[in-house]
Structure 1
């Protein structure tokens, strides 16, 4: 399944990345790089099915660490840093678009000799997950998309969103990471995070990002620049689980519509949380996706 790692149960790696997990424990995670500079690492049993994890904006592969460790007995978890995030800072500018980023993911799967993988994507990573599902369905098994969108349906909406994302990118560069993080997590979308005991640790982890690289990600991979994937939804045959937080009204409504378009799909709404379900309700989230990936796709 995974190149040169078939007889191991823990990842072989190149460079240490010190990481203080949100639980407070300190780990040393080592990462490798794809030929195009995409950083990744592997956790779990390499004889077991693979799960590819895709993080959200300003996040990194390490956002999934606790969940990947919880699944490590039954799965091989492939965690990547998307372009401009984490350690993926040397990816060429032209590879920041949705199409090219998807190509980087497929390149990595080819490098690791992974013919098919399960997928979990959150927010921006979920949008990339929609793209991969629509364009590379034969490379995927089951798919979990959390708080994600298949894009905007009209050119006017896309244009308006591109202008919004451009202004947001300018704000990010002018404010700097620390001030922008305070602005970002004060948005109504993340209101439910304010009482979370680990919010400050989450912000601290994101301070290591490059404002310029994140701005490039916004400009090239933002919602306004992604293709409209709604027409592809009816053709999806993979089992799909859509997850949203009950207090995220916008994405609950959106994903109810998405679920009605995808034949083999379910929509799970998690109570007492908002947009970032896997962070707010990590234990419940882990149980849900583990059941989905192991029992034929039914919850």
Structure 2
């Protein structure tokens, strides 16, 4: 008995030393320092990309299509994505409508918010400020995941500005838990590992996270992984992701959703494991002037996984189907 406790202490000490050694090796192997936006812009901000000075940030933006459009279409991406997620949609829509997409604060080449404010209200204020800077009075607002939540929040606080809504697997509003969450999201919310991710980012984690939100993981190409990996490596973005999760004020927001009066198109991938399609039916029930379209074979980001299939209902909604 007298030798028991010293033996246990020695074992604990060895385990602590082993854990420290494993962490040290992992940091060395997966050390991933941040990269400045201008270095990443050489690959990911080619024309028609521009940078706009807004709210103390250099916002990465693409503004395409006819300038005489009375109600431009503004596209908002989801968590850890970028304006590139809308490439397939924008390529066609810009032939008929003015299309504006940007990297939201904390993501893409725009990078961290100078006040580290990632509450939904701050994002909504950002969208309105962006429209004001571009001298756009009224607009159609579309968003995927986090972008969808920002979209319907903005529509609720500025109904005189948002004429139509397109919600693509939006987050928020309903408490249904995910069936599966991307690995990177899990790690970012852990106390110690989340902070370690500020300095190390295994490439396989990015690929795993993308495959998690696609219905068909075979569509996750090396170039797509390059894009998401580089956007995560942009200086400050990993810290911003942690802060975004810490500031998440997602609650029971059905009252806000029920207040929406804009014509609303709700798109959902039936294979979405992050935000189950059951949420889509909740939105369709609560948004009085809405239409729900479910894609049986798509996941959480339909506009990226299959731009052609997911765009067709949008063209019908905007009265552009015959112009395709």
Q: Deviation string for 1:122-167 (max 9, x for gaps)?
A: 111112112112222221011111111233559xxxxxxx998622
Q: Counterparts of 2:245 and 2:146 in 1: how far apart (Å)?
A: 8
Task: Pick closer, same or farther for the CA change 1:117–1:281 going to 2, 3 Å.
Answer: same
For the pair 1:151 / 2:173, whether they are aligned, the reply is yes
Across the aligned residues of Structure 1 and Structure 2, the Cα RMSD in angstroms comes to 3.0
Distance 1:261 1:72 in 2: 31
Structure 1 residue ranges without an equivalent (≥5): 1-15, 21-25, 155-161
Please list, as runs of the form range in 1=range in 2, the aligned pairs for 1:1-299 lying within 5 A after superposition. Answer: 17-19=41-43, 28-36=47-55, 37=57, 38-48=59-69, 49-89=71-111, 91-152=113-174, 166-167=189-190, 169-170=194-195, 172-173=197-198, 175-176=200-201, 178-187=203-212, 189-190=213-214, 192-196=215-219, 198-210=220-232, 212-220=236-244, 224-226=248-250, 228-248=252-272, 250-294=275-319
Q: Cα offset for 1:243?
A: 0.6
Count of paired positions: 267
Give the CA deviation at 1:97.
Answer: 2.0
Query: What is the CA distance between 1:34 and its match in structure 2?
Result: 3.5
Structure 2: gaps spanning 5 or more residues: 1-39, 177-184
What's the offset of the Cα at 1:175?
4.2
Q: Which has the larger radius of gyration?
A: 2
The 1:175–1:82 alpha-carbon spacing in structure 2 relative to 1, beyond 3 Å, is same
Structure-1 separation of matches of 2:246 and 2:101: 21
TM-score normalised by structure 1 residue count: 0.78
Shift of 1:276: 1.4
Secondary structure of the residue aligned to 1:108 is: helix
Conservation of the 8 A alpha-carbon contact between 1:53 and 1:77:
yes
User: What's the offset of the Cα at 1:220?
Assistant: 2.6
